[in-house]
Chain A
Amino acid sequence: MTEPVLQTRDLSKSYAGLQANRNIHLQLQRGEIHALIGPNGAGKSTLIGQLAGEIKPTSGQIFFKGRDITTSAGHARAHLGLSRSFQVTSVFDDMTVLENLALAVQAHDRHSFRFFSRVSQNRRFNRPACELARQFGLEQYHAVLAGELGHGEKRQLEIAMTLAGNPEVILLDEPMAGIGPGGTAELIRLLDGLRGQVSMLLVEHDVQAVFALADRISVLVYGEIIATGSVEEIRANPQVQQAYLGDAC
């Protein structure tokens, strides 16, 4: 087995005595779609926050491409090729779709201390931005303010922005939340299309989407990973049934 592109070692976080997660060993292989499921409050968002550099772990380490990034700041991780999306759609509401994407592209420029040129006419930002918009079916919305998009399109924009600058790993925090079955199907198709191009850590409640997409699944309960395996293994795992899927199935 090759070395995982992203992995954690003994990662833990506690807030004022409350343990959010504990001794997390997670390995994301290059090119795989790895889903992370678990009930609310199981520590999934904390884990994403730790990986993205927004939450400082209490102990443990994070390795990205073999490099210890435990103490790197969030923006530095983005430059290394570790990109994230947000659970609550987090786009720039007062900018157009194209501006949103171009700004995401611009982030991978060396610096943005350029004060005079017109950014709206910058081909180097606009061309990849248009490409992303096309890929995510947002072409007809180029000039629409992101805040005025429908929920499903906003979600697509959210994920498209994550992909600007060709990251190697993307962390997707509940991308399917609240977009309805049609939107979910569309998003599954889009993410499926990215398979192999980019490694994904997918936190998701929609188990059907997870089963459709994931190469492997890890189950997080009470801050601990209780199982990792293929879709079949997880579905068959009685411990998972008990802890997460409850008595629903």
Chain B
Amino acid sequence: MLRLQQVHAGYGGSEVLSGVDLLLREGEVVTLLGRNGMGKSTTIHCIMGQLACRSGSIVFDGCELNDLPAFRRARLGIGWVPEERHIFPNLSVQENLQVAAANFASAQQPWTLQRVYQLFPRLQERVQHAGNQLSGGEQQMLAIARALMINPRLLILDEATEGLAPLIRQEIWRVIEQLKQQGLSILIVDKHIKTLLQLADRYYLMEKGQVVSSGEASQLAQDAGLQARYLGV
């Protein structure tokens, strides 16, 4: 469904990605691992069109994404929950959701406000609050809910639970699990490796802008040596 081949990219004079290969099949949950600054977010920015690739190709559903502006990529059915969340601060919760609402990918069972509120009951309590009045956890829920409102076929979560209190974190994991059950393809980045490896089907491990290891998530879960080498402290 999504295939990256030899993607190179960077900011200004520095190269952050030096040849990233990645594959994600329909219905799969794939996690992108690695320490800070290894190129996970940059990879996602390239997929979303926030950063231009210098070379290489990114294909989604048979479409070469490199030629497409960001909004076309979204319309192909890629939902994005950015690391910084980027909630629209001056819009209410409901407006943050409505602003995105669209069914470009013509989903069978489109997401509606009701469905989203079912998923995140907490958001329903705060419908009229402005985006900048929400707590970090609520913002994260809203960011996920907003991405769902465009009825994506692939959901990309960058630092899905960073900086969140444990209870909220569990809530987010529960929702992601639920989305997985519904058959949504997911590409996810997070720091909570254990939880991630239980959730994900496969993993990609990044180091210095390249994928250094990939495979079944369950395998990595057992490979303490590999974990320590690339992820440990």
Indicate whether A and B are direct neighbours in the complex (CB within 8 Å). yes
Q: Bound state CA distance, A207 and B232, in angstroms?
A: 9
Q: A41-B136, A41-B162 are in contact. List 13 more A-B contacts (CB 8 A).
A: A39-B162, A40-B159, A42-B163, A151-B13, A178-B14, A211-B233, A235-B233, A245-B233, A246-B191, A247-B192, A248-B232, A249-B228, A249-B233
Tell yes or no: B218 within 8 A of A by CB.
no
CB of B37 within 8 A of CB of A180, answer yes
Checking A41, A151, A211, A248 against B14 with a beta-carbon cut-off of 8 angstroms, the contacting residue is A151
- The distance from the CB of A175 to the nearest CB of chain B, in whole angstroms, is 12
CB of B233 within 8 A of CB of A207, answer yes
10 closest cross-chain pairs (CB), A and B:
A41-B163, A151-B14, A247-B194, A207-B233, A178-B37, A205-B36, A40-B163, A39-B163, A246-B192, A40-B162
Tell yes or no: B231 within 8 A of A by CB.
yes
Residues of A within 8 A of B227 (CB): 248
- The distance from the CB of A182 to the nearest CB of chain B, in whole angstroms, is 9
For this complex, 25 residue pairs linking A to B, each with C-beta atoms less than 8 Å apart, are: A17-B133, A40-B162, A40-B163, A42-B163, A147-B12, A150-B13, A151-B12, A151-B14, A177-B36, A177-B37, A178-B16, A180-B37, A180-B208, A205-B36, A205-B37, A206-B35, A206-B36, A206-B37, A246-B191, A247-B192, A247-B195, A248-B191, A248-B192, A248-B231, A249-B232
| A interface secondary structure, majority | loop
Tell yes or no: A208 within 8 A of B by CB.
yes
Closest to B135 in A: A18
Q: 1/0 contact trace for A212-249 toward B, CB 8 Å?
A: 00000000001000000000000100000000011111
> How many chain B residues touch the partner (CB < 8 A)?
26
Tell yes or no: B193 within 8 A of A by CB.
yes
Q: Bound state CA distance, A246 and B163, in angstroms?
A: 11
CB of A149 within 8 A of CB of B13, answer yes
Tell yes or no: B167 within 8 A of A by CB.
no
Q: 1/0 contact trace for B183-218 toward A, CB 8 Å?
A: 000000001111100000000000010000000000
Q: 1/0 contact trace for A161-198 toward B, CB 8 Å?
A: 00000000000000011111100000000000000000
Q: Bound state CA distance, A205 and B41, in angstroms?
A: 15
Residues 152-187 of B at the A interface (beta carbon under 8 Å): 159, 162-163, 165
Tell yes or no: A16 within 8 A of B by CB.
yes
Q: Bound state CA distance, A16 and B135, in angstroms?
A: 11
Residues of B within 8 A of A16 (CB): 132-133
Residues of B within 8 A of A248 (CB): 191-193, 227, 231-233
Residues of B within 8 A of A151 (CB): 12-14
Closest to A41 in B: B163
Residues 126-178 of A at the B interface (beta carbon under 8 Å): 147-151, 176-178
CB of B193 within 8 A of CB of A247, answer yes
Q: Bound state CA distance, A247 and B194, in angstroms?
A: 6
Q: 1/0 contact trace for A10-27 toward B, CB 8 Å?
A: 000000111000000000
Q: 1/0 contact trace for B35-57 toward A, CB 8 Å?
A: 11100000000000000000000
Q: Bound state CA distance, A222 and B13, in angstroms?
A: 35
Closest to B207 in A: A181
Q: Bound state CA distance, A137 and B4, in angstroms?
A: 38
